Amino acid sequence: DGIIFFYVWALDIRRHTRVISNADGMSREARVQELMDSFSGTPLDAVNDEEKRKVCESLLDKPVQSREEFKADRKAMFLNSVGCVIFSNVALIPVLGPLFFIDDFVFALEIACWISTICLFIVGYYMAPYLGLGRISTGAVLAGISLVISVAAVFTGG
């Protein structure tokens, strides 16, 4: 996953640099539209299209970052990608622990299911304020999703 995150980021930066610097000879309107599409899923979605257009047009008049700045960003993104891989693998430890240390496999799966449910409840509980949602309800929804996935996995064979 980390490699994919890193390369998607690098390709996006390359594309944005080409659009802003007009390396492909696109019309200004096409470049503005390309940038507006790129801001989907960002805080700019909260403003109206006219304001979003102003931001995109102002970006076209700005210089792009130097190679040294890009290298520093690239290094930071690479380290973030490695961190994501490590964090993802560390999150497996509480779930895999019962499978390694409990001889009864069915009981170990049940314990792993409950541990993952509790972990997801905690994640939802602490993530909720950043989403503007209630702590208990967000934790309960994530815990419920975990239980549904576990039950579905049991009935589908894995």
CB-count burial class (<10 Å; 0-12, 13-18, 19+) for 149? middle
Is pLDDT above 80 for 11?
A: yes
Within 8 A by CB and 6+ apart from 16, the residues are 35, 38
| 31-73 pLDDT, tens digit each | 999 888 888 888 888 888 899 889 989 988 888 888 888 888 8
Q: How confident is the model at residue 93 (pLDDT cuts 50, 70, 90)?
A: confident
What is the C-alpha to C-alpha distance for residues 23 and 89, in angstroms, rounded to an integer?
Answer: 40
CB 139 within 8 A of CB 122: yes
Tokens linked to 57: 């047009």
Q: How confident is the model at residue 106 (pLDDT cuts 50, 70, 90)?
A: confident
pLDDT of 145 reads: 92
CB 17 within 8 A of CB 10: no
pLDDT of 13 reads: 87
pTM assigned to the model = 0.57
